[in-house]
A and B are shown apart, each in its own frame.
Chain A
């Protein structure tokens, strides 16, 4: 069986700025892939490029961009909008700005169904009510008649999830779905997403900067930096044997209760994510990397650190800090 989503050598640029520089991803049914990285690394743009939701001034190119065997590159806007909200759905970080404040929860949810599947409004409303119950919203019939501002942040995000599920999508892209929520609510929403995924066999592309979320929900992880996927691995493998210097740096920045001594300095990565233009070559991380040498300005080949674990760096797997300067 072919993979559900395949992205190869995706390039997205906005004028003279390259946001995504040759990123590749693949996702199977029932799998959760976490796309992790800091602001500006291109993770959201990658998701928008897959959904065909890029701004008009963006240009997109890819060696391969297919969903369930169908090439998305040649698809026109009408073809894309037949897929979007239907077979592939997306939820965003801030549920208040992605829900329409002027319509009730029920009518926004029903619209998705009516648009893609037709049928009667009553049937669509019944489906909406059913799904609100499924995302564990209490008294769903009453919520259908409410407006987004009458709901708490956690409830709004549940509504967004329910809305994304209206047409039984095969792929769910969630862009920082819990970042705006309290930790207690975050745990509830993530549990819900995982339960739904198991029940419905969803493929989930979860975009986050929170390594705690990644560790707990991902099957596979792709770490992005400056528009490139610098390391991919199974989640357990990535946390046990992070190999790219950026991945290691990122992991060292997070205070872990009980592991990082209180009062001890946290690891940090000096500098900021660079803005790279087209024609940039070599490793995008080299200006911030403690191991960089002149060789990092040349072409860097993708190396393997084991089964399903590859990374974009000239250092050998299992390298130690400081040893990189040796020829």
Chain B
């Protein structure tokens, strides 16, 4: 990793107030609970975990869409909280999961892609037009597509529009939150190939959030595994997939169904207890589902241990 990280997340915590009944006192639920990591320029950090583990909340905090309850996020050396929206938009941009709901249906594709430029307020119209055309071409869309409405496009084309909109300001970081989950496999492959091409051509850094481990293995240089608001393992991709350290990572990898017939359905050994962010177990929060938990895991929160190519939080390491 290069000397100065482009994303630096320091002890971030984000909690939400939830009411569980009309007359019950509101409680605080921590969606992210003390997360720290940094990403070097040009890296692709994959973030994986089950629904409710806090991966999308983390994306929103890094994008500056949600202020953290505690801790801070630095992007390119500046605190996200101190930046104004326009400066932030020039540096970091999102691509969301569902291209059917993330594009304004009443705007033409050209206007959708041009929006970040218009919001800057100082880009001349002719210049904006030129950059939109250039970006449409870069994501593999015909310039004539610019005159269409999102409803006239297929899912893959819409996701290309969303990518063009994210890149039109030439940001350095793109936060992709499940960018291919709503797409068919053949289209998913097109979009993943496009993202890889653009990263090389434009020198981008990606934060790539996905529940699809096969996809993450394919695109990420490093992977962080989240469980109930914490990162339980963070390693270089090949190290993590080659020899997962944390029992949760092992279970996640075991549940991936590769297209290899005859292997049957794996037993994850996770049991039926589901993680509940509003009721985080004491000690290691994974212990109720952990097949190798000991008495200590029920009491003490595990410290971070060094493992080959990264780190992991588990008493058994």
Which residues in A have some Cβ–Cβ distance to B below 8 Å?
Answer: 38-39, 136-138, 152-155, 182-188, 190-191, 194, 209-218, 235-236, 238-240, 249-258, 260, 262-263, 265-270, 272
Contacts of B272 in A (CB 8 A): 136-138, 188
Q: Would you call B257 and A210 a contact (CB within 8 A)?
A: yes
Contacts of A194 in B (CB 8 A): 264-265
Contacts of A240 in B (CB 8 A): 261
Q: Would you call A239 and B50 a contact (CB within 8 A)?
A: no
Q: Would you call B259 and A212 a contact (CB within 8 A)?
A: yes
Residue of A38, A186, A236 near B184 (CB, 8 A) is A38
A-B contact count (CB 8 A): 138
Contacts of A257 in B (CB 8 A): 213-214, 217, 241, 256, 258
Residue of A183, A253, A258 near B189 (CB, 8 A) is A253
| Residues 209-250 of B at the A interface (beta carbon under 8 Å) | 211-215, 217-218, 237-238, 241
Within 8 Å of chain A (Cβ to Cβ): is B192? yes
Contacts of A38 in B (CB 8 A): 184-187
Within 8 Å of chain A (Cβ to Cβ): is B260? yes
Within 8 Å of chain A (Cβ to Cβ): is B201? no
Q: List 12 A-B contacts (CB under 8 A).
A: A38-B184, A137-B272, A185-B50, A212-B258, A215-B261, A216-B257, A216-B265, A236-B262, A239-B261, A256-B260, A266-B192, A272-B156
Residue in chain A with minimal CB distance to B289? A184
- Least distance between B148 CB and chain A CB atoms (Å): 14
In the complex, A218 Cα to B261 Cα: how many Å? 8
Q: Would you call B218 and A260 a contact (CB within 8 A)?
A: yes
In the complex, A272 Cα to B274 Cα: how many Å? 38
Residue in chain B with minimal CB distance to A158? B272
Contacts of A235 in B (CB 8 A): 261
Residue of B50, B218, B258 near A266 (CB, 8 A) is B218
Most B Cβ at <10 Å: residue of A152, A190, A240, A257: A257
| Residues 65-87 of B at the A interface (beta carbon under 8 Å) | none
Within 8 Å of chain A (Cβ to Cβ): is B142? no
Question: A215-B260, A257-B214, A266-B189 are known contacts. Are A191 and B267 too (CB-CB below 8 A)?
Answer: yes
Residue of B50, B155, B238, B259 near A262 (CB, 8 A) is B238
In the complex, A252 Cα to B238 Cα: how many Å? 21
